[in-house]
């Protein structure tokens, strides 16, 4: 098992500050990764109505039970960490959690996980555009290779040192992406990368390698040249303890860090689905919509489900 003593941690931190990323070769053993893959398969079998999936083919978000084209593996399985001790145990593996704390300069809070069966083909971006930390820079990501990466599978790419490019501000004054303004961000970043002579690097990972990147490091899932190639991986994001406490998040301690206990991403499905015998997740719906919860408590609605059926679905409220 990898361990990081004081001098090693300091050296890794200096490297991360300079380059915006770290590679931990062979951090996880092959057996550990096999255990994680078996756990993912088990979760899909046992929790098809809890796992929220973004399909790369249809652009739709749905529960695994309702995900079309499952066999293509072109989807992101969101937040398996919410359901699994083993996933949390890998994302906050003890030495890794210590390293993340050294990089973030305070305990790391695991706040999402994504499991991919294929390359993401994500355009170059920085994660702080979409998961904008309260404190600039207070976000890190880990990327775990669950198999050896083939050059044609759409490997992860990154731009060393690009995290030092000053952050772009959108027209509302924030650092959070506005979809229609992304071409402006893209032009800005291309210009800055060119001016600094920063070139794209391809990460041809081996099973068990871990890549850690900074909140503002430019990276991408390169185009997939051979659609038959899988590229099984797990990505996790971490905010800091002080930022998440300031936002009132529910934090559960693990290995010197925390994982954020929260609801899964919201999904909308036609209410008829629940007439056919599927259980409506009443508690989640009420927890997500305080106004409905209050209306049910006051007797204005018999249940959250009745509200969803008559209004919530049409209003686009998530379950």
Q: Look at residue 63 and give its three-state secondary structure.
A: strand
Distance separating alpha carbons of residues 252 and 264, to the nearest angstrom: 16
Gap between the Cα atoms of 234 and 206, Å rounded: 13
Q: Does 122 help bind ligand AKG (rule: CB under 6 A)?
A: yes
> To the nearest whole angstrom, how small is the minimum distance from the Cβ of residue 233 to ligand AKG?
5
Nearer Cβ to ligand AKG, position 223 or 256? 223
The nearer residue to Fe ion, 79 or 127, going by C-beta atoms, is 127
Residues from 134 through 153 that contact Fe ion (CB under 5 A): none
| Among positions 100, 110, 235, 260, the unique one binding ligand AKG when judged by CB under 6 A | 235
Go through the chain and tell me how many residues it has: 319
The least distance separating ligand AKG from the CB of residue 154, rounded to whole angstroms, comes to 7
b/e code 91-119 from CB counts within 10 Å (16+ = b):
bbbebbbbbbbbbbebbbbbbbbbbbbbb
Which of the stretches 21-29, 112-120, 163-171, 274-282 binds ligand AKG when contact is defined by CB under 6 A? 112-120
Contact yes or no for 132/176 (Cβ under 8 A): yes
Q: What is the DSSP letter of 215?
A: T
Q: How far is the CB of 114 from ligand AKG (least distance, A)?
A: 5
Q: How many residues bind Fe ion (CB under 5 A)?
A: 1
Report the sign of the C-alpha dihedral through residues 107, 109, 113, 119, in that order.
negative
Among 120, 128, 142, 162, binds ligand AKG (CB under 6 A): 120
Minimum separation from the CB atom of position 3 to ligand AKG (A): 27
Give the pairing type, strands 257-261 and 108-116. parallel
When asked if residue 127 is in the footprint of Fe ion (CB under 5 A), the reply is: yes
How many residues in the shown chain lie near ligand AKG by CB under 6 A? Answer: 13
Work out which of 139, 156, 205, 296 binds ligand AKG, going by CB under 6 A.
Answer: 156
219 touching ligand AKG, by CB under 6 A:
yes
Q: Is 148 in the site for ligand AKG (CB under 6 A)?
A: no
- Stretch touching ligand AKG by CB under 6 A, among 61-69, 84-92, 118-126, 172-180: 118-126
Site of tokens 């993401």: 120
Q: How many Å apart are CA 53 and CA 139, to the nearest integer?
A: 23
DSSP per-residue codes, 270-315: -GGGGTTTPPP-HHHHHHH-HHHHHHHHTTSSS-HHHHIIIIIHHH
- Picked from Fe ion, ligand AKG, none, the partner binding residue 264 (CB below 5 to 8 A depending on kind) is none
Partner interacting with residue 193 (select from ligand AKG, Fe ion, none; CB below 5-8 Å by kind): none
Going by C-beta distance under 8 Å and a sequence separation of 6 or more, which residues neighbour residue 96? 2, 24, 27, 142, 210
The first and second tokens of residue 40, run together, are: 């993912």
Q: Is 234 in the site for ligand AKG (CB under 6 A)?
A: no
- Residue 114 within binding range of ligand AKG, rule CB under 6 A: yes
CB-based contact 145:206 (threshold 8 Å): yes
The answer to whether 141 contacts ligand AKG (rule: CB under 6 A) is yes
Q: Which does 254 bind (CB under 5 to 8 A by kind): Fe ion, ligand AKG, none?
A: none
What's the rounded Cα separation, in Å, for the pair 183 and 303?
45
Enumerate binding residues for Fe ion (CB under 5 A). Answer: 127
Binding site for ligand AKG (CB under 6 A): 114, 116, 119-120, 122, 127, 141, 143, 156, 219, 221, 233, 235
């Amino acid at each position: 098992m990898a361990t990081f003593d004081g001098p090693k941690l300091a050296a890794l931190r200096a490297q991360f500050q300079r380059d915006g990323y770290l590679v931990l070769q062979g951090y996880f053993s092959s057996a550990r990764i096999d255990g994680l893959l078996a756990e993912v398969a088990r979760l899909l079998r046992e929790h098809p109505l809890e796992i929220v999936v973004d399909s790369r083919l249809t652009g739709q978000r749905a529960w695994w039970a309702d995900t079309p084209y499952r066999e293509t593996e072109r989807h992101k399985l969101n937040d398996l960490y919410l359901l699994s001790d083993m996933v949390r145990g890998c994302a906050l593996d003890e030495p890794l959690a210590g390293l993340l704390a050294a990089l973030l300069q305070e305990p790391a809070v695991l706040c999402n996980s994504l499991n991919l069966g294929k390359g993401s083909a994500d355009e170059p971006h920085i994660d702080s555009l979409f998961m904008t930390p309260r404190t600039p820079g207070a976000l890190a990501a880990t990327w775990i290779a669950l198999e050896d990466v083939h050059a044609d599978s759409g490997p992860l790419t990154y731009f060393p040192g690009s995290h030092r490019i000053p952050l772009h501000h959108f027209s509302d004054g924030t650092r959070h992406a506005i979809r229609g303004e992304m071409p402006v961000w893209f032009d800005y970043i291309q210009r800055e990368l060119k001016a600094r002579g920063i070139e794209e690097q391809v990460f041809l990972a081996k099973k068990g390698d871990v890549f850690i990147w900074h909140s503002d490091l430019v990276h991408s899932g390169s185009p997939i040249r051979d659609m038959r190639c899988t590229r099984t991986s797990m990505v996790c994001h971490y905010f800091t303890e002080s930022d998440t406490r300031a936002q009132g998040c529910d934090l559960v301690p693990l290995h010197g860090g925390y994982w954020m206990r929260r609801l899964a991403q919201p999904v909308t499905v036609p209410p008829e689905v629940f007439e056919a015998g599927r259980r409506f997740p009443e508690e989640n719906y009420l927890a997500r919509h305080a106004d409905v919860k209050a209306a049910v408590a006051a007797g204005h609605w018999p249940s959250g489900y009745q509200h969803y059926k008559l209004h919530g679905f049409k209003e686009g409220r998530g379950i």
